Structure 1
Amino acid sequence: MPAFSLDPSQTAWCAELRDLAAERLRPLADKGEPGHVNRPLVAELGRLGLLERLFASGALDLCLMRESLAYACTEAETALALQGLGAHPVHAHGTRAQREHWLPRVAEGSAVAAFALSEPGAGSDAAALELRAEGDAAGDGDGDGEGESPAAEPDGPARWRLTGEKCWISNAPEADFYTVFARTTPGAGARGVTAFLVPADRPGLTGTGLDMLSPHPIGSLTFDAVPVTADDVLGEPDRGFRVAMGTLNLFRPSVGAFAVGMAQAALDATLAHTAERDAFGGKLRDLQTVAHQVAEMALRTEAARLMVYAAATAYDEKAPDVPGRAAMAKLLATETAQYVVDSAVQLHGARALRHGHLLEHLYREVRAPRIYEGASEVQRGIIAKELYKNMEAGQ
């Protein structure tokens, strides 16, 4: 893959996004209640056309949006990303009825989406899902996927009943619909999982918020014989794992972009602080140890950015090595951001730990991306698997 650089229009767009995030999104984020969906913020993302762009652009555009928004407003970045994560399976695999009912509402910011994959006993091991989609003897399952818009009750007789629990679900329990992954064939591992679009008002579906280190809601969902039909399936029965992995292959590089945005914000704050701060008869920047630390922060941030862009470009070009590249980008960028933000806090000293300081905020925000959408250890496993697969294929 050739060396990567943004063209002038992309660079200008990123600058515009940073300004919008600071001027229009940051004030709305500050008014939000931690642990709850900030619907005015989501609606503003819709008015700005950013949510619609989730479905009209490729992985690189998604990365540029997430990096730029994260630089000035991590809450806006996360709100946009969660809309994309929850709704992308509908965009990519949904029926006409599903797409026409939900995607315009997601794009305008009036409907909140969520991606419900993780379970109490199946976080990193997504193929070990236990949420059961049990056949309903009373249902005929004859839906063709092109019927009327989904409602609280399924349009036709239930084909399956969902029973079990999901946990660590972003936007739960406040989302308007969930992309849910459930086991339709017991004992079949990844080959027995089906993806469903489940409206939040479906009978038997309840949720509870979790008290997490996060500004957006994260909760658990309980499914008590929740009825679903063939019209609720995303993709094909027993092929839902592909829906999940395809979504994650798109969004993992953009998690890296989120991390790069935070790292750049921390780096820029550190440059300003060390250039102005008096210490030991000069400025902090004059100390060699400080200068070398800042150089290392910049080096790692730029390396992570380039890997993120390369992975996104590979996805857009439908390259065969997307899973490995996506895992590398997510791993390097999130680990780098943790290092850069931690280093920035160290160079700022105690002031960086005061509530309301940018770095205090970033220090809380930067930890979670190393876990969600596959922890760093999972990414290393994916990378190794892809390396050995390529070796055995003679590539």
Structure 2
Amino acid sequence: MTAFRLSAEQQEYVRWVREVAGGKLAGGQAGRVDRGLVRTLGDLGLLRGLFGGGPDAPPADAAAMQLCLLRETIAQISAEAETALALQGLGSYPILQSGSPELVERWIPRVISGEAVAAFALTEAGAGSDAAALSLRAERDGDGWLLTGEKLWISNAPDADIYTVFARTTPDAGARGVTAFAVPGDSPGLSGEPLEMLSPHPIGRLVFDGVRVGAGAVLGEVDRGFAVAMRTLDLFRPSVGAFAVGMAQAALDATIAHVRERHVYGAPLAGQQAVAHRIADLATELEAARLLVYSAAAAYDEGVEPDRQPRRSAMAKLYATEAAQRIVDGCVQLHGAAALQRGHPLEHLYRDVRALRIYEGASEVQRSLIARNLIGREYTR
């Protein structure tokens, strides 16, 4: 695979995903985890694609590219299904990456089958963009830990079965004093509530009131959890860009069909030069976003200059999500009032695309990551 052309195997994988998912995925209850949808994703074999597996899938060493192709394709079918799928990967990848064999055996097969719902619990009220400012405490308790504090704006909360939780184990140590834990959703002392958000997936608050976990719940090393989080985000950030590309492609496809069919002053809307040129600009921006996402994913899979991967992942996420917002907005404009009607596909995309510029690091955070990687941390804040 090059940055400009998918391999025959990857093209076949996209066709397989489209064939398997088409007409079989739809969202359910807004604001809560749709377990039926998650189970369907598992039954169809789509969740295996999160980690480089599944029927007709590219090799396992192409995990990032496969993840991007999977998310982009499903995003064109159902935003709800896409986020349900992606959150399974985001919440469970740290377990696969850094968990003990026992944790992997207990949770990963259930996540892939859709039996267990996973979540990634990093953000707090005072530690969103500045993840190193986490205040959720993890204190030693015999051979285990007691977790006390809150998490906010957590996708799939409070309904997940397993959470990857990042907690402060060494006070006043910044990013070097954070540890990652695997915390079952039914743990005594763990509670939460759903939040009403402008988002295509459920988001909620978690409260940890002396939640006890054993030593085996630690993911990776004590005080090294920030590295677990960053490795996960380096993999998943380009795929957020792929999600954005898929949504933008769906909007553009609908708009091209609309301007061909819509007649104004006795002629198709597409015949107006201003409209045709606007379509051309939107398509060009979409292709640029897609290529940047593919390039970041390919570099991740090939291990090319790994010290530059945070920059590449941030660039892909930044550009693709910002471009998708502009593309969907432009498509709404070309549709006119019809696109603002509740239930119209463009109205749905217009609402759903907004959250992508915030979660897994807002656009401003991505710019800071890029600048630090280019200029040096000592020159940027």
Residues 296 and 313 of structure 2 are in contact (CA less than 8 Å); yes or no, is this contact kept in structure 1? yes
Shift of 1:112: 0.2
Matches within 5 A, 1:19-34: 19-26=19-26, 29=27, 32-34=28-30
Residues 155 and 204 of structure 2 are in contact (CA less than 8 Å); yes or no, is this contact kept in structure 1? yes
TM-score (norm 2): 0.94
Aligned equivalents of 1:55, 1:290: Cα separation in 2: 41
Q: Please point out which of 111, 119, 122 is paired with 2:124.
A: 119
Aligned equivalents of 2:226, 2:340: Cα separation in 1: 42
Shift of 1:285: 1.0
For residue 83 of structure 1, what is the aligned residue in structure 2? 88
Which amino acid in 1 is paired with 2:130?
D
Residues 233 and 360 of structure 2 are in contact (CA less than 8 Å); yes or no, is this contact kept in structure 1? yes
TM-score (norm 1): 0.91
Query: What SS class does the counterpart of residue 164 from structure 1 fall into?
Result: strand
For residue 192 of structure 1, what is the aligned residue in structure 2? 177
Shift of 1:203: 1.1
Which amino acid in 2 is paired with 1:387?
L
Moved more, 188-197 or 275-284: 275-284
Which amino acid in 2 is paired with 1:95?
S
For residue 296 of structure 1, what is the aligned residue in structure 2? 281
Moved more, 120-129 or 36-45: 36-45
For residue 381 of structure 1, what is the aligned residue in structure 2? 368
Shift of 1:391: 12
Aligned equivalents of 2:156, 2:168: Cα separation in 1: 22
Shift of 1:390: 10
For residue 57 of structure 2, what is the aligned residue in structure 1? none
Residues 390 and 372 of structure 1, relative CA distance in 2, 3 Å threshold? closer
Query: What SS class does the counterpart of residue 76 from structure 2 fall into?
Result: helix
Shift of 1:2: 5.5
For residue 244 of structure 1, what is the aligned residue in structure 2? 229
For residue 294 of structure 2, what is the aligned residue in structure 1? 309
Matches within 5 A, 1:291-370: 291-319=276-304, 320=306, 321-370=308-357
For residue 39 of structure 2, what is the aligned residue in structure 1? 43
Aligned equivalents of 2:34, 2:156: Cα separation in 1: 10
Query: What SS class does the counterpart of residue 212 from structure 2 fall into?
Result: strand
Gaps of 5+ in 2: 53-59
For residue 55 of structure 2, what is the aligned residue in structure 1? none
Matches within 5 A, 1:38-187: 38-56=34-52, 57=60, 58-136=63-141, 139=142, 141=143, 159-187=144-172
For residue 149 of structure 1, what is the aligned residue in structure 2? none
Residues 18 and 71 of structure 1 are in contact (CA less than 8 Å); yes or no, is this contact kept in structure 2? no
Shift of 1:367: 0.2
For residue 153 of structure 1, what is the aligned residue in structure 2? none
Gaps of 5+ in 1: 142-158
Which amino acid in 2 is paired with 1:115?
F
Query: What SS class does the counterpart of residue 361 from structure 2 fall into?
Result: coil
Shift of 1:10: 1.7
Shift of 1:16: 3.0
Which amino acid in 2 is paired with 1:363?
Y
Question: How many equivalent residue pairs?
Answer: 368
Residues 21 and 73 of structure 1 are in contact (CA less than 8 Å); yes or no, is this contact kept in structure 2? no
Aligned equivalents of 1:91, 1:316: Cα separation in 2: 17
Residues 260 and 304 of structure 1 are in contact (CA less than 8 Å); yes or no, is this contact kept in structure 2? yes
Query: What SS class does the counterpart of residue 24 from structure 1 fall into?
Result: coil
Residues 83 and 200 of structure 2 are in contact (CA less than 8 Å); yes or no, is this contact kept in structure 1? no
Q: Please point out which of 237, 243, 260 is paired with 1:275.
A: 260
Which amino acid in 2 is paired with 1:293?
R
Residues 17 and 46 of structure 2 are in contact (CA less than 8 Å); yes or no, is this contact kept in structure 1? no
- Cα deviation 1:129-182 (Å, max 9, x = unaligned): 00011222xx1x2xxxxxxxxxxxxxxxxx221111000000000000100000
Aligned equivalents of 1:189, 1:333: Cα separation in 2: 30
C-alpha RMSD of the superposition: 1.6
Aligned equivalents of 1:172, 1:335: Cα separation in 2: 26
Aligned equivalents of 1:244, 1:376: Cα separation in 2: 18
Counting aligned pairs with the same residue, the percent is 63
